[in-house]
Amino acid sequence: MKGRSLFIVSIFIISVLTLMPAIGSSAFNVTAHQNLLVAPRYFNITSPSSYFNQDPYFYSFEAYHANITGKPEVINIGTNVLFNDTGLSPIARTVNIPQGNYSMEILNVSIREFNGTQYDRQVYIFADGVPIFWGSTQEIHNSTAEAIVTPFENLLKGNVTFDLVIENFYDAKVNITGLYEMNVSLLLYPGSVPYQLPNEFIPLFINDSGYNYSYVVLNPIKDSVSSNVSIPMGTYKAQLLLYEEGGGLDEFWYANEPATRQILVYYNGYLAGDVNPFETIYTGGIDLFYWKPVTSADTLSYHSPYFIDLTPMLTISHNANITFKVTNLKTALQLTGSTAYDWDLSGVLMLWVNQSNPMIGGKLISYTGDFIDSSPIFISGYTPSSCYYLEGGHFLINYSSVLIFNHGKEIASTQQEGKFTARQTFNSVYQYVYLDEEFQESVKDEGIYNYTLKVEGNYPLSMYSDAVAIPLTPTSKIPYNLSYVQNGSLTLSPTFQERYTFNNDSGYCTLHENVNSLGGFSGIIEVINKYGGSVLVSLTSNNAVTSKTLNLTFVQNDRGFTENFYAQGIQNSTVNISGYYSHISEKYSYIGDPSIYETFSIIKGIYHMIYGIEIKFLKLILHI
């Protein structure tokens, strides 16, 4: 949930919305769509804290846990760091990280909400301006999550300044008074250091953030941004890591029209990469009761960062202009007349540098950079009040180079390809949404070093929602009240696979999650801002079931673990809407060691008993 867009619930106003006429040239037929109903509007709702009367140790947690054997060295970064009306202002902590050999480094982030009603908020952590954690809060009680930060091991040495950010806002006039406290620890596991980690890091967008960390917001008025970077001549490998999320009216971009977004990356004018955004659903998303206590996939911490290999582009220039463009933002403006489709980006250029062996020449051998989008297609439904929306596209990016160094040469090649499809059926009270993104990347470098990378991903999402909102007070002036009822379902099933070799090093990670939610609620809400930020005034019905599975395998040099996770959360009360776990099960097996199994399972347990056991379990696997 974005700080600007708050706690999300889909609310559908019974009204006919007239589309803005097209501005300038456009490939899609706006005229054919102008007199049709557009998809229902989404509102962002939070509930008074008085509804939530349970506070176990960890109310919500990510399913993804890197359960590493051995005792870590724990570096405390922040304890009970308070966020009130902080917005994007960071709270800095400078920490000395001891020298040592560490096979794995994990960042643990635990957050508590208190002092009243609050929305879910974005959580960012930067190390010397570089993004190392990208997540969000659970807007009630508390939560815990973690991220593997081993790729940043050469950054996390000596004195490091960490910028801790929770994009929180405080407004007592409308009873938004909740505060957050954050605890952050770095867990260092002794062992052999992974071979050939990046040793230099260039954070992007520093001049755009207003703060000394990597962050920028794009919208239909400014749908692209460029960073000029000077890359050392001794660089023999370069990769780009980009984090992204939709905000404002694009928090639910996959339910908008148009519903596809791609983040195109250009290196000195060459199309060098395409990032497929993940459908992050924050803890107030779609139905505010779906995610209490079970969260959606990658909500509290994003676990599948996407690295674009830029090594062949080094032959073009070491003075790089790297441009990022979010597609379909201007089209959204044309269709709706609104500029409030925001995208937040944060990124870093990760470099492998040997200053004693500079690059002295090179040549781009081959290059292909194709991106095709059908543009939105709108078709009238079988009834005058319904509409169909379709859109699809694909991309193919392929480049190869010879890099000549003072001592030796490297032949580097990278290929990305993928496709995306969006389908919707909607009227003023109903919407069905389907979005699918498939992508893969292949990298092969041969010469002074040998490297391969294979990435495959798929992010399918489907949902439906039918709802009615009836104004109880005039809507011409904020705040106003609505009577509201909603029912629906959602399925999100991301898969992500990554395999690499780097000389004698190798590793792989496979991740599959499946989230299913079903239910609805009714009550009265008060709309408090133009983005649809709302407060639940009264609740008359509430039923929801959310289940979540995760299957994870993580291996480095033939040693690692598998994790199998299942949880189900239930909502069935209008008095206590904390919900409860009806089932939690988690099993680990270790790879490369004698097989070890740790299993924890609860079926239809009593609420307090579940949390009593859960606390002990989380202390085991989260090292707290």
- What digits encode the pLDDT tens for the residues 404-414? 999 999 999 99
CA geometry: angle at 299 spanning 296 and 301, to 5°? 140
- CB under 8 Å to 311, separation ≥6 — which residues? 236, 237, 238, 239, 401, 403, 410, 412, 414, 443, 445
Q: Beta 216-218 vs 580-591: how paired, if at all?
A: unpaired
Q: Which domain holds residue 274?
A: 8-622
Q: Is residue 1 part of a domain?
A: no
3-state secondary structure of 281: coil
**What b/e string do you get for 155-168 counting C-beta neighbours within 10 Å, with b at 16 or more?**
bbeeebebbbbbbb
* Amino acid 408: pLDDT: 97
Q: Is residue 437 part of a domain?
A: yes
* Amino acid 186: pLDDT: 98
- CB under 8 Å to 382, separation ≥6 — which residues? none
Q: Is residue 388 part of a domain?
A: yes
- H-helix or E-strand spanning residue 209: helix 206-209
Q: Is residue 3 part of a domain?
A: no
* Amino acid 304: pLDDT: 78
Rounded Cα distance between 115 and 52, Å, is: 12
Q: Is residue 2 part of a domain?
A: no
- 511 to each of 76, 104, 552, 561, how far by Cα in Å? 29, 18, 5, 12
* Amino acid 385: pLDDT: 79
Count how many domains the chain has: 1
576-612 pLDDT tens trace? 889 999 999 989 898 885 444 444 333 333 233 333 3
* Amino acid 42: pLDDT: 54
State how far Cα 547 lies from the chain centre: 20
Q: Is residue 491 part of a domain?
A: yes
- CB under 8 Å to 172, separation ≥6 — which residues? none
- The model's pTM: 0.88
Q: Is residue 107 part of a domain?
A: yes
| pLDDT beneath 50, residues of the chain | 1, 3-37, 49-56, 594-624
